[in-house]
Structure 1
Amino acid sequence: MRKTAALLLSLAFPLALHLPTRAQAPVHYTVAMPNAVHHEARITVTFREVPAGPLQVRMARSSPGRYALHEFAKNVYDVQATDSKGKALTAEKPDPYGWTVAGHDGTVIFTYTLFGDRTDGTYAGIDSRHAHLNIPATLAYAQGLEQRPAAVQFQLPEGWTVASQLKPEADGTWTAPNLQYLMDSPTSLGPQQVRSWQLQGRTIEMQVLHDGTPAELDAYVASTQKIVQEAAAIFGGLPEYDFGRYTFVANYLPQTSGDGMEHRNSTSLTSNRPLRGPGAIDNLGTVAHEFFHSWNVERLRPQDLEPFDFQRANMSSNLWFAEGFTQYYGELLLRRAGVYTDDEYAKEALSGIVGAMLLSPGASRYSPVYMSQQAPFVDAAAAIDPNNRPNTYLSYYYIGAANALALDLELRSRYKTDLDTYMRTLWQQHGAQQNYAPARPYTLRDLQRVLGQVTKDTAFAGQFFRQHITGHQLPAYEELLAPAGLLVRRARAGQTTLAARLQFNPDSTATLGTTLLGSPLYQAGLDREDVLLLLDGRKLINAKEVQALLAAHKPGDTLPVEYRSRGLVRTGSVTLQEDNALEVVTYEQAKRPVTRAQKKFRAEWLNGKAR
């Protein structure tokens, strides 16, 4: 419908596309940190050439890459407004999210204090060491002026520099062509350590705040370079970054929260893990995932996220592809870049994807499209009422990655093509054309159509989408992985389990989390917040004691249980089950013979593609 409306508009008013427009005065921001030690910034916004009538100044309620409401106005206070002559103006609040400023002379100078003490991809983190600013959480804007360019002046403490995808100008400001680009530009302020390199005529740079050594950063950057090259190989080259530059805006300090957030020409990377040891691999996984997003979701973009609306929750039916396929490729890039071995990739990546898909109650009940539509309720959305998501939901990251894995293997086995080709074809048709925004965002129907083109089998494409994308049929991973010499098996075969989350209490009881559909305690009629008093006549002292009790029994044994439920003490019986946790291993690790054909299939899938 939106395409049709746009077409009719262009036919009815063809000359409107060519009318010259008068340059509008940019919105100018000044960001200062006089009280950074107490997590405050003082921000001034100057709106010039404001149309007559009240100006509606807003803080965003949502943020690109996040789909829930976050109500950033809650951290804004000490608001003041003046006109061009310094006359005080009244800033009234029509609602919780903004201010109405009336009586101006065509200029409104709007000043406020921002509190920010969460360093991640969604909020603002400010302290004496740094400031990591997600722009929707930081900068106010005015309704009706969204198409104006913006210029930001950062007043920096000694030794601090700016890391951002905003365009640096000769006058010291950092600019954006419009509000959408401004809001999509995370910015880090601090004593950045910079590493940059050239690839395919573009500048790739890492601007990093961390407590490690230069040698640790060098090693980390070397791995990142391989990941970047492998990602580019999938799509046949790097995107045309708007200013010829892609920036990893990275904050690896102790006070940061683990997160990664994709943006058009940059990514925000935050973690308190160091750039050495196991933490480095976890951090590189985020690097790979977020860099893949510079194609998938930033330029190869779902139509139902265009344009992003900063005043509401943004729902998409396509996050299983935008985030889930990216989740699959993020892990695959680690293998192709040599960060993982085959055995490590199977254990660290495939086991989690396959296990989540096959064992989650939600995945067998609801489709990836449905899981995508749940994002406004689960994507860092805060709520205090209980829910039943353990039984109804599997993250669109995992359900999407699981279907990407299945599709990749099926394409390789049945059609002599692969998911790389599918992604590259989608990119050529729906991602390559850009002008600060995608020219041809895709629909669900487009994703199915292109799959039919790549396979030359539209019936297969339709069936795959009906069964696995709008439906919820589980893939047959044992069959799909076998040609690569990979085995799906029980990780703890023969061991008994309660399949329950237990919180152990000082009085040797244990409180239950949500009990899973089909689990022993669910079948026995126990529910969340029930308190186990005795199991098999024994108190529940700690996890080690419970494991010892279970080890003394076999699957199918029935044990008496005494528990307290909503104030009433009850008795019952629990039938133990075999632990159904799954793992994926190579045939070599499983001591199975592996054929030359299986080795070839696996190598063509997992080995690096960059030249």
Structure 2
Amino acid sequence: MDRGAGGGVRGGGVRRNRSATLALAASVLALSAGLAQAQTAAPVEYDLRFDDAVHHEARITVTWRDVGTEPLRVRMSRSSPGRYAIHEFAKNVYSVSAVDGAGRALTIGRTDPYGWTIPGHDGTVSVTYTLFGDRADGTYAQIDATHAHLNIPASLMWAEGQEARPATVRFRPVAPDWRVATQLRPTEDPYVFTAPNLQYLMDSPTEVSAHAVREWTVDDAGTPRTIRLAVHHAGTDAELDRFAASARKVVDQQIAVFGDVPDFDFGTYTFIADYLPYVSGDGMEHRNSTILTDTRSFAQADFDQLGTLSHEFIHAWNVERIRPAELEPFDFTDANPTPSLWFAEGFTSYYGPLTIRRAGEQSVDGFLADLGGTLGFIVNNPGRAYGSPQEMSLRAPFVDAATAIDPTNPTIFTSYYPYGQIIALALDLTLRQRFPGVTLDDYMRRMWRVHGVTEQPFTPDDLVEALAVTTGDRAFAEDFFARHVEASELPDFGPLLGQAGLVLRPARPEAAWIGGPPIRATGTALMVTNVPARGSPVFEAGLSRGDEIVSVDGVEMNADADWAAVVAARKPGDTVEIAYRQRGADKTTRLTFAADPAIEVVRVETAGGSVTEAQSAFREAWLGPAS
């Protein structure tokens, strides 16, 4: 298979300085007494009202008591757990006022866009502000007449120096049938919850609405843990029951991977789902909960929401407890980059669909169709020439729902989600090939026992160490990371997949292909829509983003159908003459079509061959029984 360049050799990869880690640990120990004292202080009190929900506004009051006499610095977060880029949440906060313990109005100073400074108080400060929110996803807030969907960093202020204090949060719903879904600790009052500190509070998304609930328990070595599914949707009870039954099967398969259930704080894990036409599709993991949003109903999506649910629940182990050292503790004032997202997100992306398949919720052929698409995307991805999985992980602050107005070159980035997914596939199949009885599940269990159960954040070196211990072969572990993680080489997947009686083959070998971005109608013109990949037919023809295609071999081009007809009539190796307009200049060029490099993975039986008994056993051990 194709082998990518870049990334460097061992020693050139990204490694965390262990002495720095030890120094950090010493600092944490030195601060522990002070933190314990802060945790015994009066809790921070939050009160949330939604009286003007129809205009997407919440009115929020936060009270700090016994804070001394120095000016109190309060602020909004700039980043959010599960996101790796900057998000300026203060932009949605306005009408800020403050009073002291006697109710006297306080002067508020503003020297930067992120927060407010409040001097002259009596040791108690109550700040009231308006929050605007109209985007329901894993990052922001949405407040309307149907619900209050709150990502907490996007919603709640906090005070510098008071992060260790516990918090009490009161929600005041606008309708009597609204209830609260959250990982915050419940109290006897169904609308009042608590958090032990700021880190936990910020990690606790909340849905206040007339949502439906399904729940069940799983056994954790004799201790029951509750799995709760809170769904705000417009579907039927029967549809929700069907979805809950599928979710339960997937949860069971994921527990089987790790051989253990996380010790969910307060005994419960909550899926918080909004499946409504006015939300934005997303999924966002948290320590004991996840946000799931989709614009489609169960019926419209044919229950496809199961894919996001599966991905996010894997995070209860991988990311939330098997945690990259760079994310702990989370910094709410800046981006939180780590070189290990290829593992944290990519290996999660591998197990999400795999556990759905093992649960019998997707056919083998359906799983292979999706796998082949992802494998082809990575094998043929031009971004691998510009960096390893570690390098792509470090670029998360530029791409993880981050926005910029200047155009960028999309061909130099390969998402760490599918990149890591294919590294996981390579490692799983290689382990099964070289080390009988050892699979990627064993590697994940090792990471769970050493870093998840103990909640000791891992470094890139720790990932290598876990593989060395799992296989008993340090040379193999170091070589695998040097070639496939610190550099961007891919293995030959043909023989690896062949163990399972699977065939890797071209998907459309006779189809003509131009590579790079699509050419499509934009307004009244046919345009090249983005920067082409280096070496692709479009690139070699000298075309680039924004070029207007005027004609092909003298035939005028005006609509998508015109270009589709050109491509359909050609085969690999054919050449056409293109007249185009580039930055106001009329030009001509010649474009030679290449063969479509798309690949697919199919069962050998589908390809006309016969599967052996050994291949069938391998396939079932990996993917589960055929359904």
**Shared fold per TM-score greater than 0.5:** yes
> Match of 1:480, SS?
helix
1:402 alignment partner in structure 2: 422
Equivalents in 2 of 1:20, 1:383: separation in Å?
43
Q: TM-score with structure 1 length normalisation?
A: 0.95
Structure 2: tracts of 5 or more residues without a match: 1-18
> Match of 1:327, SS?
helix
**Is contact 2:578-2:591 (8 Å) kept?**
yes
1:174 alignment partner in structure 2: 193
Task: Show the 5 A alignment for 1:511-590.
Answer: 511-590=528-607
**Using CA pairs below 8 Å that are at least 6 residues apart, which structure has the higher relative contact order?**
2
Give 1:297 shift: 0.1
What RMSD, in angstroms, separates the aligned Cα atoms of the two structures? 1.8
**Is contact 1:122-1:134 (8 Å) kept?**
yes
Equivalents in 2 of 1:487, 1:136: separation in Å?
47
Give 1:18 shift: 12
> Match of 1:313, SS?
coil
Work out which of the residue numbers 362, 382, 388 in structure 2 matches 1:367.
Answer: 388
**Is contact 1:510-1:532 (8 Å) kept?**
yes
Equivalents in 1 of 2:468, 2:591: separation in Å?
49
**1:422 counterpart = 2:443:** yes
**Is contact 1:27-1:48 (8 Å) kept?**
yes
Tell me which stretches of 4 or more aligned residues in structure 1 moved more than 6 Å.
17-22
Q: 1:174 to 1:463 in 2, by over 3 A?
A: same
**1:459 counterpart = 2:463:** no
**1:487 counterpart = 2:496:** no
**AA of the residue aligned to 1:473:** E
Render the CA deviation track for 1:504-554: whole Å, top value 9, x for unaligned: 145453343221222111001111111111112112233333232223222
Moved more, 399-408 or 544-553: 544-553
Moved more, 294-303 or 494-503: 494-503
Give 1:196 shift: 0.8
2:97 alignment partner in structure 1: 80
Equivalents in 1 of 2:324, 2:444: separation in Å?
14
Equivalents in 2 of 1:187, 1:159: separation in Å?
16
**AA of the residue aligned to 2:402:** A
Equivalents in 2 of 1:72, 1:8: separation in Å?
33
Render the CA deviation track for 1:490-509: whole Å, top value 9, x for unaligned: 21111112223123145453
Q: 1:170 to 1:509 in 2, by over 3 A?
A: closer
1:497 alignment partner in structure 2: 513
**1:92 counterpart = 2:113:** no
Equivalents in 2 of 1:336, 1:297: separation in Å?
22
Moved more, 40-49 or 477-486: 477-486
**AA of the residue aligned to 1:393:** F
**1:340 counterpart = 2:359:** no
Equivalents in 2 of 1:14, 1:523: separation in Å?
60
Give 1:188 shift: 0.2
2:8 alignment partner in structure 1: none
Work out which of the residue numbers 303, 307, 325 in structure 1 matches 2:325.
Answer: 303
Q: 1:170 to 1:18 in 2, by over 3 A?
A: closer
Equivalents in 2 of 1:594, 1:254: separation in Å?
45
**AA of the residue aligned to 1:404:** A
Using the aligned pairs only, state the percent identity: 50
Q: 1:209 to 1:547 in 2, by over 3 A?
A: same
Moved more, 402-411 or 551-560: 551-560
Equivalents in 2 of 1:9, 1:211: separation in Å?
51
Work out which of the residue numbers 144, 148, 152 in structure 2 matches 1:135.
Answer: 152
**AA of the residue aligned to 2:311:** H
Work out which of the residue numbers 102, 122, 125 in structure 2 matches 1:108.
Answer: 125
Q: 1:474 to 1:95 in 2, by over 3 A?
A: same
**1:473 counterpart = 2:489:** yes
**AA of the residue aligned to 1:468:** H
**Is contact 1:28-1:151 (8 Å) kept?**
yes
**AA of the residue aligned to 2:566:** L
Render the CA deviation track for 1:88-117: whole Å, top value 9, x for unaligned: 111111200000011110000000000000
Q: 1:18 to 1:120 in 2, by over 3 A?
A: closer
Q: 1:279 to 1:516 in 2, by over 3 A?
A: farther
Work out which of the residue numbers 251, 261, 269 in structure 1 matches 2:292.
Answer: 269
2:244 alignment partner in structure 1: 221
> Match of 2:86, SS?
coil
**Is contact 1:498-1:521 (8 Å) kept?**
yes
**Is contact 1:83-1:105 (8 Å) kept?**
yes
For this pair of structures, how many residues does the alignment match?
Answer: 600
Work out which of the residue numbers 249, 263, 278 in structure 2 matches 1:255.
Answer: 278
Render the CA deviation track for 1:459-487: whole Å, top value 9, x for unaligned: 01000000000111022111211111112
2:53 alignment partner in structure 1: 36
Give 1:4 shift: 2.2
Equivalents in 1 of 2:433, 2:545: separation in Å?
44
Moved more, 462-471 or 599-608: 599-608
Q: TM-score with structure 2 length normalisation?
A: 0.93
Q: 1:184 to 1:8 in 2, by over 3 A?
A: closer
**1:152 counterpart = 2:172:** no
**1:185 counterpart = 2:204:** yes
Give 1:594 shift: 1.3
> Match of 1:80, SS?
strand
